[in-house]
Amino acid sequence: MHHRKDLMRALILVLVCVLLLPEAVTAGPRSIPDAAPARSAAGIDAPWAVALPLVLRSCRSFSYNESLLWNITKIHAADAWACPQGGAGVVIAILDTGVDSSHPELAGNLVSGIHYFDAYYEDANWEDDNGHGSHVAGIAAGIANNGGIVGVAPRASIMPVKVLDNNGSGYMSDAGRGVIWAIQHGADVINMSLGGFGDYEPLHTAIQQYAYNNNVPVIVSAGNCGVANDKCPSQNAISYPAAYTQTLAVAATDSDDYRAYFSTVASYVDVAAPGVSIYSSTPRVYPYYADYLYYSGTSQAAPHVAGLAALIRALQPGWTTQQVYNYIASTADDITAYGVGWDPQTGYGRINAADAISGIDAASVESLAVPAALEAENAVIQQDPTEFRPGAVLFKLREDADITTITGDAGIQAAGLQVTTAIAELGVQELHVPTGAETTWLAYLRSLPGVEYAELDGVIHIQ
């Protein structure tokens, strides 16, 4: 049965890539069931069909000399490389701990990056001093034909955006600035294998206004709170930015297509990808000093999907962000161990790159529904972070207010507090407060009539 499916997949790929004509297209990928649940408790609309452009193209062979590892084989990535030529011309921004610029799996695919840290500072030193970012980058776009590992999109470019330190931690404000910088400097896809346990409006706004609205998919790890552990405030704790509807949240699966025990079970999970014992590139940094290591996590699952998004972008650069999300979900292999259709363990299923690319020129796609009211969902999931940057409260003023609303306030003047700019592109300011008094001043700012929102600068970690 598997041989027959592989043969049919190969025949479809040849027909689509070499001889595709409009009249030859009779069906798109499989439909998503009408009863598909929502990403939130608010519910989801029925699926809708979106017309996509028909493109005629020819395909060339794609060579590689690596022995494919289980994760690349599981998602049928090699069967998807010919037509998009491994994602050539597409830039994947890796928002993480940096990337090793000298690693043979990564160096040839790198473009210029940035380093944001401590909420204010930036420099060009985006070298990876942790290992996590290089591992993620190798999964997404490790180079082919060098005898090591190979990524899902081996000819895509890697843009390092270092927003996490050598311990794998950072702040939401740095992640928000990183998203904006990546979009301004040509990123086509963003991978965020990180998360925190609190909503942060500036990051949400950066993802929505700069990425989603500019047709740049943001692929995010769903979280590693599937079991209670000391890194999670509770089992299946909501992880941000995965919970935002403008991202594609990725759960982790093992080699038998079961949800990894650590993978968060949540209403926001969209799809799944391999995330257990994934072998990929690492820098020679403390404490391992190895060129390749096995890592597990939803952090490892997300870049598989980012690589697939790059393959899709190489063939369909005009698709909207939502069309890319919908298409990835609609071509995933449903994992029926958790029921037919969507489920909170693996979303719409484990991604299948071959099915995605072989059907990419279909005239229409049955697609995920967009929640009717984004504001309603955010109200359901919104929560303040449990871990945050000391001495800071960030805020944005309403359009009809000016900074004297804050600097001229009697309470703020009496306390001698200072205000500085935090994220200029979003109009976000920072009120510098005494360490330990953050929540007090957060409540105070939220009480002022001229403040649109006030937030704590939540801590984010690798996942």
Would you call 96 a catalytic residue per the annotation? yes
Q: How many CA atoms lie within 13 A of 119 on its CB side?
A: 24
Please answer whether residues 153 and 144 qualify as being in contact, where contact means their C-beta atoms are separated by less than 8 angstroms: no
* E strand map for 368-417: 392-397
Would you call 79 a catalytic residue per the annotation? no
**Angstrom distance (rounded) from CA 391 to CA 456:** 10
**Inter-CA distances, 89 with 187, 217, 315, 415, Å:** 11, 16, 10, 53
Q: Which of 103, 115, 132, 135 does the annotation list as catalytic?
A: 132
Q: Which residue in 260, 266, 359, 375 sits closest to 316, CA to CA?
A: 359
**Inter-CA distances, 183 with 43, 87, 186, 221, 374, Å:** 31, 18, 5, 20, 23
Q: Which of 79, 96, 188, 355 does the annotation list as catalytic?
A: 96
Would you call 299 a catalytic residue per the annotation? yes
**Angstrom distance (rounded) from CA 75 to CA 69:** 11
Please answer whether residues 336 and 249 qualify as being in contact, where contact means their C-beta atoms are separated by less than 8 angstroms: no
Spell out the alpha helix ranges (H) of 185-276: 201-205
Q: Which of 157, 239, 296, 299 does the annotation list as catalytic?
A: 299
Q: Which helix (H) or strand (E) holds 174?
A: helix 172-184
**Angstrom distance (rounded) from CA 58 to CA 210:** 33
Chain centroid to Cα 461, Å, comes to: 14
Give the pairing of strands 48-51 and 364-367. Answer: antiparallel
Query: Would you name the residues annotated as active-site residues?
Result: 96, 132, 299
